[in-house]
Structure 1
Amino acid sequence: MIDSGKLDDLFLWMLDGARPSADARAIVGGICDGLLEAGLPLERFALFIYTLHPNLQGRRFRWLKGEGVDQSDADMTAFDGAEYLNNPLPTVLKTGKMLRRKLCDPECPDDFLILKEFRGEGITDYVVQPLFFTTGETHLVSWATKADGGFDDDMIAALEKIRLPLARLTETYMLRLNAANLLSAYVGRDSGYKILSGRVHRGDLEEITACVVFADLVAFTKFSNSASAAEVLARLNRFYDCLVPPIVARGGEVLKFMGDGLLAIFPISEKLDDRSACEAALEALREASGGGEKPVFSDAVPPFRAAVHLGPLQYGNIGASDRLDFTAIGPTVNLAARILSSAILVNGQTVVSEKVAELSGISTIGAPTFELKGFERTQVIVPVRHMLAH
């Protein structure tokens, strides 16, 4: 029997935003535990959210009685196979109506692949409900029980009551998730977090110390002038696929794509001091250029140049009053850009400043010096001849 008082308490808690829980898994656990306390014999819960993400189609939260909540993401191929297409989810998405399979009923059809699995687990009743968002989108939640006779009418009514605030909680979570995903994809993980945390005003800058990396493709202008648009796009994507993952994996933040160029920083932190930041940048470039002592370029690894420098910079918002860019500026960034432009003068694929060379143990003996535009004193430009792993 459903305890209406406890069900009402759960409903109001959800309606009030499930405070003070901030973690989605904690909220899911709270909802399922609340239903158990209200007398609903819940065995399994799953929430399916379709997200905006360059590489993912959706996210699932699953609660199992006695095991708690887990989270998994669906990649871009997840909805193409029979496991998804022969599942109740597409049906409910299409119809916008609740789907129920009372598996304890001998007349219940086995019209979806997952039902055989549920029967084997002892599930007696399975319900999928649509969650309607204010935007018109539909997302999904499913409930299952092992109770004799399945869910009774009062239990189905309780699930229907809970569905309404669950839709609002899910929409709120999804909006923030999509914002975080898109900001991370377009401005970088750390920059996106700072924007979502309120760093949105022009001139809102902080001074940090960071290892700065500039990189661009070799002979890209000549190539792009004669290649098709598809070929140009393919080379750019291969270039960024080579560079971005090793940069991010080592604590770097990709701030900007500029045609065939890239700007990234490795901010100094408790986990990354000056030396380790320089080494992380060089290790990322080593991996991106084939992983050996010397670059090995191919169709899969387009030839590129890179420059590395370290120093203080300004990090934050610049731009017009209503069109901002979250980026890095200052003499350190300027010098890194000038060093990259000098790479061709020393026949270098990767070149570093004297400071980075000293921190990374790269010999500066015989390194040339150049007068770089905008800088008063000559600068030592050190070509990295051997990309040694640290």
Structure 2
Amino acid sequence: MVGKIPSGCRPHSEIKKINDHIQWLIEQGITCEHIGDLAAGLCDRLIATGVPIWRASIRMPSLHPMYRGVAANFERGGAIVLENAEHGSETERSFEMTPIFHLLSRGEKTGRWNLAKGEGLQYAELHEFALAGGTDHVISIFEFPKEVALRGLGFSLTSDAPGGFSDDQLAIIQELLPALGLAAYRVAVSKTATEILAVYTGARTSARILAGETRRGMGGSIDAAILLADLRNFTALTEAHQPGEIVGFLNEHFELIDRHVEENSGEILKFMGDSVLAIFPTDAENPQKACKAALASAQNLLKANEELNRERTLNGGPDIGIDVVLHLGEVFYGNVGAQGRLDFTVIGRAVNEASRLEKLCGTLEQPLLLSESFAATCAVPCDYLGAFELRGVSKRADVFRLAGAAP
């Protein structure tokens, strides 16, 4: 059964308690880092005043590309549990079988189910609570501004006390909801900005942006190992496959490149069509370390790409090779672009040279090429392939492959 949560008049002492809770929520909204802190802290405060909370949760939608929602689950006497609901039809079907979805689909903001009387047992979560001794379950929904994709939050409380929550207790909780919503909104917006920026720019770059490096031209020169990866013969694939299939192929290959770059402390700065640009900043005292990391990334991603192609071709899909170039040099790492549209990336002669070197992979029939500066610093056994002219580069480039590498 769904009903309205009651409210009413109360003595001055209760009003003071409510104001204290509101003040605490506002302070936590400014300082805390996750909605789990809000859920645990508020529930502990309410329990201390006699509200028989057994379980509670704050559920919110998410803008993260991997997750459709986030939840902070509280249990009296236990640790807060954080959950991320991934995108996908299975997750959406599961959400459609929840009491919160029931309220949203009916345009209602509050709901209450008497578990002791068998109400709400069609929902798996409430059925589980009832079997474990739950007696009362209430949900309040708080909406955020319409222009924000973070649409709002659902705050649910479960009691295991005989008779559940009193009307006065529920009225107090209802009065706390705006402050809870405001605090959760601030936490969610801050976390969303940090996470989304990291997804679009990379963890290292996003940290610099959030630290204040936002003006055009702001940045500086760094030495870095550069990894440039390009999908081979990708233009021909666009002629033979539909756009949706092409996007799927790109995502598969970019995923494995990103995985092996990140696990070696590198960072992808840019996806350029079917190419990937990543850097491994060097340590002045040990530049070889960055080169070793870049080389490990290149070798691992090429091996993983072979495995991906074997699986795909068994199902009739295309074999898509990757050409990788490793270079070492000085780059400008910072904000480049127009005043209203910036890109935090790397530019410079070394980046241009890496791009030109990549064109030689097909000519030399080698999936992995090393520049002279990279090969010398990395100090691994290499075969010299010759000196080549690069378009737009005045000096011929000495090019290497790993010793014993086959075409």
Normalising by structure 1, report the TM-score.
0.88
Q: Which position in structure 2 is the counterpart of 1:118? A: 129
Q: Which amino acid aligns with 1:112?
A: Y
Cross-structure match for 2:23: 12
Contact 1:41 1:147 in 2 (8 A): yes
Q: Structure 2: any 5+ residue segments left out of the alignment?
A: 1-9, 314-318
Cα–Cα, structure 1 residues 107 and 374, in superposed 2: closer, same or farther, change >3 Å?
closer
Kindly indicate whether residue 279 of structure 2 is the aligned counterpart of residue 276 of structure 1: no
**AA at the equivalent of 1:34:** R
Q: Secondary structure at the match of 1:72?
A: strand
Aligned partner of 1:343: which letter?
C
User: What is the aligned residue count?
Assistant: 384
Question: Match for residue 258 of structure 1?
Answer: 272
Q: Output aligned runs, 1:42-57, within 5 Å.
A: 42-57=53-68
Helix, strand or coil at the partner of 1:68? coil
Q: Which deviates more, 210-219 or 175-184?
A: 175-184
Give the match for residue 320 of structure 1.
Answer: 338
Q: How does 1:340-359 map to 2 (within 5 A)?
A: 340-359=358-377
- What's the offset of the Cα at 1:179? 2.5
- For residues 255 and 103 of structure 1, the distance between their equivalents in structure 2, rounded to whole angstroms, comes to 52
C-alpha displacement at 1:352, in angstroms?
Answer: 1.4
Relative to 1, partners in 2 of residues 1:36 and 1:342: Cα closer, same or farther, differing over 3 Å?
A: same
CA spacing shift, 1:71–1:208, aligned 2, 3 Å = farther
Match 1:199 to one of 207, 213, 216: 213
Q: CA deviation at 1:365?
A: 4.5
Kept in 1: contact 2:33–2:187 (CA 8 A): no
Query: Aligned equivalents of 1:221 and 1:113: distance in 2?
Result: 50
Equivalents in 2 of 1:96, 1:249: separation in Å? 46
Which whole-Å CA distance do the structure 1 matches of 2:171 and 2:153 have between them?
Answer: 20
Deviation at 1:225, TM superposition (A): 4.0
Q: Deviations over 1:267-313 (max 9, x none)?
A: 3469x953332232222222322349x89844476201011122332
- Alignment partner of 1:67 is 2:67: no
Residue among 37, 45, 49 paired with 1:34: 45
Residue 108 (1) aligns with residue 119 (2): yes
User: How far apart are the structure 1 equivalents of 2:243 and 2:331?
Assistant: 36
SS in structure 1 of the partner of residue 137 of structure 2: strand
C-alpha change, 1:129 and 1:11, in structure 2 (3 Å) is same
Aligned runs of 1:64-103 on 2, under 5 Å? 64-77=75-88, 80=91, 83-94=94-105, 95-103=107-115
Query: Cα offset for 1:101?
Result: 1.3
Which one of 163, 166, 169 corresponds to residue 155 of structure 1? 169
Contact (CA 8 Å) 2:18, 2:172: kept in 1 or not?
A: yes
TM-align CA RMSD: 2.9
Change in Cα spacing, 1:57 to 1:19, as seen in structure 2 (3 Å) is closer
Select between 86-95 and 353-362 the one with higher mean Cα deviation: 353-362
Cα deviation for residue 264 of structure 1 reads 1.0
CA distance in 2 between counterparts of 1:316 and 1:378 reads 29
1:215 corresponds in structure 2 to: 229
Post-superposition shift, 1:98? 0.9
Q: Is the 8 A contact 1:79 1:85 kept in 2?
A: no
- Deviation at 1:190? 2.5
CA shift in 2, pair 1:27/1:273, >3 Å: farther
Percentage identity across paired residues of the two chains: 26
- Equivalent residues of 2:30, 2:186 under 8 A apart: no
Residues in 1 aligned to 2:130 and 2:281: alpha-carbon distance in whole angstroms: 53
**Map of 1:279-318 to 2, 5 A cutoff?**
279-291=292-304, 297-298=309-310, 299=312, 302-318=320-336
Shift of 1:223: 3.2
Cα 1:275–1:6 change in 2 (3 A) is farther
**2:382–2:402 CA contact under 8 A, matched in 1:** no
C-alpha separation in 1, matches of 2:17 and 2:295: 58
Q: Report the alpha carbon displacement of residue 195 of structure 1 after superposing the two structures with TM.
A: 2.5
1:196-230 per-residue CA deviation (whole Å, 9 max, x = no partner) reads: 33322101113333221111111223333454333
Change (3 A) 1:268 1:101: farther
Which shows bigger deviation, 180-189 or 147-156? Answer: 180-189
> Residue type of the partner of 1:103?
L
CA distance in 2, matches of 1:147, 1:276: 60
Residues 146-178 of structure 1: per-residue CA shift (max 9 Å, x gap): 223211111101211121111112222222333
Contact 1:212 1:308 in 2 (8 A): yes
Q: 2:187 aligns with which of 173, 183, 194?
A: 173
Deviation at 1:262, TM superposition (A): 0.9
Alpha carbons 2:383, 2:403 under 8 Å: kept: no
2:259 counterpart residue number = 245
Higher relative helix content: 2
Displacement of 1:34? 2.1
Measured after TM superposition, the shift of residue 17 of structure 1 is 5.1
Distance 1:288 1:158, change over 3 A: same
- Whether the aligned pair in 2 keeps the contact of 1:289 and 1:296 (CA below 8 Å) is no
Alpha-carbon distance in 1 for matches of 2:145, 2:194: 20
Question: Gaps spanning 5+ residues in structure 1: where?
Answer: none
